[in-house]
Structure 1
Amino acid sequence: MASNAHPDVNLWVETSAIETIDLPTSASWETWFSRWLRELKPTASPINQYEVSLLLTNDATIQQLNSTYRHQDKATDVLAFAAQETHMPGAQVIYQTVPMPLGDLIISVETAQRQRHDAAYSLTQELTWLAAHGLLHLLGWDHPDDASLKNMLDKQTDLLGLIA
């Protein structure tokens, strides 16, 4: 089956348990993820369509999720739960007609705000850095050693250059 030249992404963005602050819009996130997927060229979806959910939340919520699913009772900046890590019978047939779910990204806005490098480095820049990192995890990237981490950080830098 022929696929679209550019990947499409259905992105669900939710803000939960965070103070109302100036965050990127859902339309901005969708544009950024589409550009990133175009660059990354994932091949798993026969129709070149993907789904990602993004939750922007606070430290308490991300700590609870980190404790429940990773057994680390502490807040973190980003969690990525890849949907394709488990085998699902019939998936190849299903994804011939519907977008392939890549997974869920959860980002703590509170942690992102704290770990900004300096005043010139905006909260949006930190959030997009974390989202790009999480997306790479959803697509199977990992950093078990220094060389892998450098490779992943270089790719994140490339992805951010696409939306600058």
Structure 2
Amino acid sequence: MLVELCVQNCFDELRDSEETRVIYNDAQVPLETWENWFSAWLEFNQFEAPKEHSGYEIALRLTNDAEIHSLNSQYRHQDKPTDVLAFAALEVDSPDFEQDDSPLYLGDIIISVETAFLQAQQQGHTLLTELAWLSAHGLLHLLGWDHPDDESLERMLKQQVTMLNQIGISIDIN
């Protein structure tokens, strides 16, 4: 399954102190790893692109709390940073483009590496595990999952655990 991933690492603009340099150095995941993860997850979720598309395209931005706070305030009217935001392209009415065998654009996932780092420490696992966790969560949102209540959140969290298992990461959400 072809997945084209545009990963924007904001590391150069975010390295303000020695502490943040260490955090962001730990968060540098190779593009091939991201692509493998997303390919496995899309296949696991049995999400198939329409025949006129050659695969998928996803934008992933790894950023800091200040930027995600601004986006969260602007788009969700939540005046605080968050760990992950997802903007699904399939939910937006868009003009019909010619069928040119291009990848199907699924949307954008934005992750605050600062918040991910703190959550990884709180959960007792690595930053890599937390980034995978948040990426899986964001992808599920791009695929139409939501969690307006506790029951749907529980289903989504279980799906994330299974998705991480698919890529060889074991996680305990209890």
What TM bracket, shorter-length normalisation?
0.7 to 0.9
Aligned positions of 1:6-155 closer than 5 A:
7-16=1-10, 17-19=13-15, 20-23=24-27, 24-46=29-51, 47=53, 49-91=55-97, 93-94=98-99, 97-118=101-122, 120-155=124-159
TM value normalised by structure 1: 0.88
Counterpart residue identity of residue 45, structure 1: P
Render the CA deviation track for 1:74-120: whole Å, top value 9, x for unaligned.
Answer: 100000000111222325x53x6111100000000000111125574
The runs of 5 or more residues in structure 1 that have no matched partner are 1-6
**What SS does the corresponding residue of 1:21 show, helix, strand or coil?**
helix
CA RMSD of aligned residues (A): 1.7
SS in 2 for 1:52: strand
Count of residues in correspondence between the two structures: 156
Structure 2 length as normaliser, TM-score?
Answer: 0.83
| SS of the residue 1:137 aligns to | helix
**Following the alignment from structure 2 to structure 1, what is the Cα–Cα distance between the partners of residues 82 and 123?**
21
Q: Which runs of 5+ in 2 are unaligned?
A: 16-23, 169-174
The corresponding residue for 1:163 is 167
Partner AA of 2:46 in structure 1:
K
Whichever structure has more helix as a proportion of its residues is 2
| Identity level (%) | 51
- Is the deviation greater in 7-16 or in 20-29? 20-29
